[in-house]
Amino acid sequence: MVHVTVLRVFADSGGSFGNHLGLVLDGAQVAGAEDRLAIARKLGFSATVFVDDITTGMLAIFTPGGELPFAGHPVVGTAWAIARETGQVPALLRPPAGVTPAWSEDDLTWVTAPLAGTPPWWHERMDSAAAVDALDGPVHPIQDMTQLWAWEDEAAGAVRARVFAGRLGIAQDEACGSASMRLCAALGRPLTLRHGNGSIILARPGTVPGTADVGGRVVADPDQQV
């Protein structure tokens, strides 16, 4: 049996919502990619992380459809979980996309990463937040890696967003950090995104060109054995 820590990443201020994450802190016990993919599919979360070395922050990210080099909520959640295990947020994590700095601000956990390592999200702006709310899937089936969004308050940088990612085996992603990173970079400004059913993602362009920061609140759910 493999012990899985279960988190919700990008929860709201009351600890509700957030994107479920499965986290195997002793990732070395599941060495093969096929075995890791099988666990990700069995859990059914949008992402499962295998931490290969908690000291160096080496990790692998699997969706039900395969491995990713980087994704926002898995890396933010891993930083939070390692901090809970060791007493401090790791300065660096090492997903396949490369070295990723991590830190905390108040009760939020943040990471920064090159946008080149993020999945190739497409962004589709809609007429209103109500139009985003009314979606029950992408506007067209070919939008299988798409963040649909609209301004809730443009002056304040408040966005309503949802992500559909059939290409990754994810009908709808409750809170997609990497898509939000790409959106804030495209718009050139910090954003607060009300994502999915009510998750809250903070994203802002990075201080280094070609990077972006993403942060949010992480809470723990009951662990699982698979």
Instruction: Convert the pLDDT of each residue in 54-111 to its tens digit.
Output: 999 999 999 999 999 999 999 999 999 999 999 999 999 999 999 999 999 999 999 9
Q: Which domains are delineated in the chain?
A: 3-104+216-225 (3.10.310.10), 122-214 (3.10.310.10)
The conformation of residue 211, written as its DSSP 8-state character, comes to E
Instruction: Convert the pLDDT of each residue in 157-211 to its tens digit.
Output: 999 999 999 999 999 999 999 999 999 999 999 999 999 999 999 999 999 999 9
| Range of lowest pLDDT (9-13, 137-141, 216-220) | 137-141
Tell me what pLDDT residue 21 has. 98
Q: Are strands 47-53 and 19-24 parallel, antiparallel or unpaired?
A: parallel
* CB-CB neighbours of 146 under 10 Å: 21
Q: The tokens 């994203």 sit on which residue?
A: 203
Tell me what pLDDT residue 37 has. 97
- Sign of the C-alpha dihedral computed for residues 24, 27, 29 and 32 taken in this order: positive
Residues 6+ apart with CB under 8 A from 54: 25, 82, 85, 86
Calpha distance 14→47 (Å, rounded): 23
Average pLDDT, the chain: 96
Instruction: Convert the pLDDT of each residue in 99-122 to its tens digit.
Output: 999 999 999 999 999 999 999 999
- pLDDT-derived band at 128 (thresholds 50, 70, 90) equals very high
Find the mean pLDDT for residues 32-45: 96
Give bridge partners of residue 160 from the DSSP assignment: 150, 194
Output Rg (C-alpha) for the chain, integer angstroms: 16
Calpha distance 12→107 (Å, rounded): 12
Tell me what pLDDT residue 19 has. 98
